[in-house]
Amino acid sequence: MEIKARSISKGKACGEVLLSTEPIGFLGGVDPETGNVIEKGHVLEGQNISGKILVFPNGKGSTVGSYIMLQLAKNGKAPVAIINVAAEPIIITGAIISGIPMVDEPNQDIFSVLKNGQIVEVDGEKGIISFQ
Amino acid sequence: MIELSQEEQKMLDGEISKAASQSMEILVALGRIYGAKRMIPITSAQVSGVSYKTIGQAGLEYLQDLVEKGAKTIVPTFLNPAGMDSEQWREMKIPEDFAKKQIKILDAYAKMGIMKTCTCAPYFIGIRPKLGEHIAWAESSAVSFANSVLGARTNREGGPSALAAAICGVTPEYGLHLDENRIAKIAVKIECELKTTADFGALGSAVGKLVKRKNPAFTGIKTASEEQLKVLGASMAATGSVPIYFIKNITPEYNVEENVDEIVFGEKELEESKDQLDSKEKPQLVTIGCPHASIKEIEDIAQMVSAKRPTCDFWICTSRKIKELAIERGYNKPIEAAGGKIVADTCMVVCPLESMGFSITGTNSGKAAKYLPNLCKQKVAFGDLEDILYR
C-alpha cells in the first residue's frame, strides 16, 4: 500500500514506525547521545527514536532543535526517516542538514493507518510512504 | 516554483562561495515546501545555536565547515546567548574543556562576520526592526517580540536557516512575511489582573499549551511593560511554538479571524498555572533575565536588594552592553553587596548549571521554568522575585 505525501528531505529509508501523537521539541526533549525521549510527561517519554520511522504532528520548542537532530545523526542515533503532519522550519532544516529523509502532509490520517512497530518505507524525494 | 533573481541564482550555482550555494539550497527547499514565489531581502538576521551545550561537537563542526567553504554574512547579523560569560567564565566555574569549545564556536561565527552580541533580547540593545520590516530571526522569544511588539516580520527560523538567510541576505517569502498569515485564530479573554512579570510568565506557559498552533489575540490586558511582554511571548514560544500574538490596544497590529474560539483566563487559571510551575522548594540560586534583563529590570532589582538582602544567591543574566551600562550607573554595587552577580553573554538555560553544583533554581520566567528541568536537571521554584528571592 502507498500513501502520498509531500517531499521535504531527500533519501529513502525503511524501518519500524514509532508514533507520537504529540509534537516533539528536540532541544531538551530528546537526548542527543542516546536518542531517548526525555521530556517529562511526553507520550514517548523513555522511548528511543534511533533507527525508527518517527511519526509526529509537528515540531515545537526551541529553534536549536535542528542542531540536536544533527548531533543525533552524527552519533548514529537519529530516526531513519521522519513523517510529519505539517512540517515546520526547525524540523525541515534539521532533516536537510542531517540527511534524514522526510515527508509531510500525508493524504490519509497517518495515526489511524500506521501502527507502532509496523515496517514502512519512506521515499523523501518522491514523497511516498509505502508498506505491506 | 520559486523564481530566483540573477544574484540569487549565482549564489545557488556556487559562483559566490560553496557556503552561499549550500545556504541558498536550504532557502530554496524551504521556499518550495511553503510555496514561496520569490525571495525577499532581509534587513537583519539573528542566529540561534551558539552554546556548546546545545549544539555540541556536531554543531561546532557544521559551523567550522561553513567557514572553510567561505561563509560570509551580508546583512547585520546577531548572536544568541553562549554557554558562558566570555570574560568571567572561570569565576562561573565553567569547565575548561567546555570553555575551549565555546570559544571555537564564537570564533567560527565571528569569522562569518557575525556580531558577538550573545543576547536573546537584541531589542533591548537598540536592535529594533520597524513595523513591516522583513528579518530572519531564530531565537524563539525574539521572534515573538519582533513580530508581536515591534510589528517586524519573521518566521520562526531554525539556527541553520537563519544563518543561511544571513549568508544570502534573503529569505523565502512565506508565512509571517505575508499579511494573510498575520492573523489570530483563537481569542484569549483575560479576566484577572496581571501584576508581576511572573504573572505574565504563568499566563504565557498556560496559553502556549492551549492554543495548539493557533496564534492568540488577547483582550482584557490593560497595561504591560516591554519586560512583561518579553516574558509572555517567550513563555508561549517555549510551551507552544507561538511566533506571534496580539493584544488589544497594546500591540501595533491586531488582526483576528471572525468567529474564533475563545479561552477565558481568570484568577483561578492564573493560580493553577503558577502552582504547576512551582516546586514550592527554597531555591539555591535565583536566575533573573529569561529572556535577558533590560536596564530597567536591573535598576529595580538593585533597589529591591538594597532594601532587603535576598536569602539565596542570585544571577542576573543579560547582554554585555546592558551589563556595561549597569556598571556605569552603579547598579552592580548593591547587587554584588547582596550576594548577586550580573552575568553577561549567557543564561541559566544554556550554561552548564547542573555541573556547577546547583539543583534547585528559582525563576519568574515560564520559558526558564520549561527548560531548566530537562536541560539543566534543576527543580524549579517559580514565582515573583519578592517571593523566590526571600523564601
* pLDDT digits 0-9 by tens, B280-310: 999 999 999 999 999 999 999 999 999 999 9
B287: in domain: yes
Under a CB-based contact definition with an 8 Å cutoff, are residues B143 and B135 in contact? no
Tell me: do B243 and B381 sit in the same domain: no
pLDDT of residue B350: 84
Tell me: do B264 and B243 sit in the same domain: yes
Q: What is the pLDDT of residues B31-90, one digit of tens each?
A: 988 999 999 999 999 999 999 988 999 899 999 999 999 999 999 999 999 999 999 899
Q: How many CB atoms within 10 Å of residue B288?
A: 28
B212: in domain: yes
Q: Is B26 helix (H, G, I), strand (E, B) or coil?
A: helix
With CB atoms and an 8 Å threshold, state whether A96 touches B238: no
The region that residue B329 occupies, defined by phi over 0 for left and psi between -120 and 50 for alpha, beta otherwise, is alpha
For residue A62, list chain B residues with Cβ-Cβ distance below 8 A.
48, 54, 140, 238, 371
pLDDT of residue B107: 98
Domain count, chain B: 3
Of B179, B195, B210, the residue at which a domain comes to its end is B179
pLDDT of residue B200: 98
Using CB atoms, pick whichever of B29, B138, B240 lies closest to residue A63. B138
Residue B89 CB-half CA count within 13 A: 20
Active site (catalytic) residues of A? 62
| Grid coordinates of B217 | 489575540
pLDDT of residue A15: 98
User: Residue holding cell 533573481?
Assistant: B5
pTM over 0.80: yes
Q: What is the pLDDT of residues A61-91, one digit of tens each?
A: 777 899 999 999 999 999 999 999 999 888 9
Hey, which residues 22-41 in chain A have their CB within 8 Å of chain B? 23, 25, 27-29, 32, 38-40
B172: in domain: yes
For residue A70, list chain B residues with Cβ-Cβ distance below 8 A.
55, 58-59, 62
3-state percent helix, strand, coil for chain A, nearest multiple of 5: 20, 30, 50
Tell me: do B312 and B239 sit in the same domain: no
Cα dihedral sign for B304, B305, B309, B312?
Answer: positive
Of B232, B258, B274, the residue at which a domain comes to its end is B274
Residue B224 has pLDDT above 90, yes or no: yes
CATH number of residue B331's parent domain: 3.30.499.10
Burial-class residue B280 by CB neighbours within 10 Å (0-12, 13-18, 19+). Answer: exposed
Tell me: do B117 and B214 sit in the same domain: no
Residue A33 has pLDDT above 90, yes or no: yes
Closest residue in B to A90 (Cα–Cα): B158
Hey, which residues 80-109 in chain A have their CB within 8 Å of chain B? 86-90, 92-94, 96-97, 104
Residue of B30, B241, B348 to mutate for A, most A C-beta atoms under 10 A: B241
Nearest to A42 by CA among A63, A19, A22, A70: A22
Cα dihedral sign for B129, B130, B135, B136?
Answer: positive
DSSP class of A7 = E
ipTM: 0.80
Q: Which domains does chain A have, with CATH numbers?
A: 2-131 (3.50.30.10)
CA distance A115 to chain B (A): 24
pLDDT of residue B324: 97
Q: Residue B314 belongs to what domain range?
A: 278-388
Residue B212 has pLDDT above 80, yes or no: no
Tell me: do B198 and B270 sit in the same domain: yes
Partnered with residue B188 across adjacent β-strands are B218, B263
Q: What is the pLDDT of residues B332-384, one digit of tens each?
A: 999 999 999 999 999 888 888 888 889 999 999 999 999 999 889 999 999 99
- For residue B253, what pLDDT band results from cuts at 50, 70 and 90? very high
State chain B's mean pLDDT as an integer: 95
pLDDT of residue B355: 83
Tell me: do B16 and B161 sit in the same domain: yes
Tell me: do B125 and B13 sit in the same domain: yes
pLDDT of residue B98: 93
- Cis before B81 (ω within 30): no
Residue of A31, A62, A68 to mutate for B, most B C-beta atoms under 10 A: A62
Tell me: do B156 and B56 sit in the same domain: yes
Under a CB-based contact definition with an 8 Å cutoff, are residues B319 and B292 in contact? yes
| Grid coordinates of B258 | 471572525
DSSP class of A30 = B
Q: Is A62 on the interface with B (CB under 8 A)?
A: yes
B1: in domain: no
